[in-house]
Every structure is written in C-alpha cells, then in structure tokens.
Amino acid sequence: MSDSPFDIISSRKLVPVIALADAAHANPLAEALVAGGLPIAEVTFRTAAAEAVIRAMAARGDLLVGAGTVLSIEQVDQARDAGARFVVTPGFDPKVVRRCLDLNLPVCPGICTPTDISMAIDHGLSLVKFFPAEAMGGVKTLKAISAPFSMMRFVPTGGIGPTNLSDYLALPQVAACGGSWMVKPTLYADGDFQAVEQATRKAVALAENDV
C-alpha cells in the first residue's frame, strides 16, 4: 500500500473499529475483512490484547492497520512498534498528538466542539474524528460545527450503522465513517467468521453507493 493511510481510508469510506479480547482471533478476523473487501482495521486499546492484535494483523501485509482509543504517549509507542500505520484518539490530547507528529505517524484525534477543531488546525491536522457522533447530535451537529472550518474533514464514529451511514457519507466534509457493526463479537461468537465477511461486504456495498 503506497498511498497514505488517510487517503486509503477516504477512498474506502469505512473504518472497522475493532476490540478483540483474544489475539488468536486477529488473523481470522483480518481474513474476513479482506475477503469482504475492506482491508482496514482500527484496533482499539480497549482490551489487553490490543498490541498483540495489531502486531498480528500488521504482519500480514494485506490490510491497513491502525490503533484506536489511544490515550497516552506510551500507547502511541506501543502501537507504532507493533506496526500500526495510523492512530485514532477519542479526544484531543495535545501530548498524544505531538508524539504522533514527532514519529511521523498519522493521527486522527477525536473532536466534538469548534474549540477542538481549532486545536487540530493549530497542530497542522486536516482530518479529525467526530466522536461520539450520534450522542453529540449526529449529522445536524456535524453540519453546524464544521461550517466555519472548510479546510477540515471528518470521520464520524459512534452510533453509526447501516441505517444512518448514508446520512453521514452524504456530507461533503465527511471523509469516512468509523463503525463496529460489521465486526461485532456476536458475529463470530461461535468461532465462524463468515458472518463478519458477509456483514463487511454489505457495508462496503452500502458505502460505495454513497460515493
């Protein structure tokens, strides 16, 4: 993959947000995403297995792997060392953002106010995560807070699924949407990842219809 991580994400319009408790599931989940046509994985630091999952997925070489829910400089370093090619944070932490910039590691920090967006611009960023999207007012709020910032693009995440994905992707300022519906643990609770592949394929088709 020669393109920048965020260019790849923008072209795909979707970011699967993953929380794996068992690193043994990393490869079969990655295979399901690739087979479903979405070779991207944002592995969140919400479980103790996150670093191992990132390492296993990144070693494959057939999908773009990033780290999500990154809350500290230490996690930035862990993610980078494990092979993550981008970082996503739930809020705007200047220390975490600066560490990513120092490492030339693309970072997409979480924002939910105009002040947050201004901070992102001050750090030279042009892509941010609108989070938690639905809880903060969804499309209506994103339209309002993004209006003064034409130079910024957004990745809404939080409460997004098949029923409202189109509403977000219809906004010109939205680069992609983050979601977990196609990688929910209930889909592979029986050890069969075919449901993930099927859900991913449907999500990709839905996103492509809105490009």
In a domain, 211, yes or no: no
What's 176's domain CATH number? 3.20.20.70
pTM over 0.75: yes
E strands present in the chain: 14-18, 40-44, 64-68, 87-88, 107-108, 110-111, 127-130, 153-156, 177-179
- Single out the residue of 74, 76, 81 nearest to residue 52, CA to CA: 81
Using one digit for the tens of pLDDT, what is the confidence trace for 45-62?
A: 999 999 999 999 999 999
How many folded domains does the chain comprise?
A: 1
Q: Would you state the pLDDT for residue 211?
A: 52
Active-site residue set: 42, 129
Residues sharing a CB contact under 8 Å with residue 84, sequence separation 6 or more, in sequence order? 43, 54, 58, 65, 66, 67, 105
Range of the domain at 41: 5-206
Using one digit for the tens of pLDDT, what is the confidence trace for 102-146?
A: 999 999 999 999 999 999 999 999 999 999 999 999 999 999 999
In a domain, 35, yes or no: yes
Using one digit for the tens of pLDDT, what is the confidence trace for 79-114?
A: 999 999 999 999 999 999 999 999 999 999 999 999
In a domain, 164, yes or no: yes
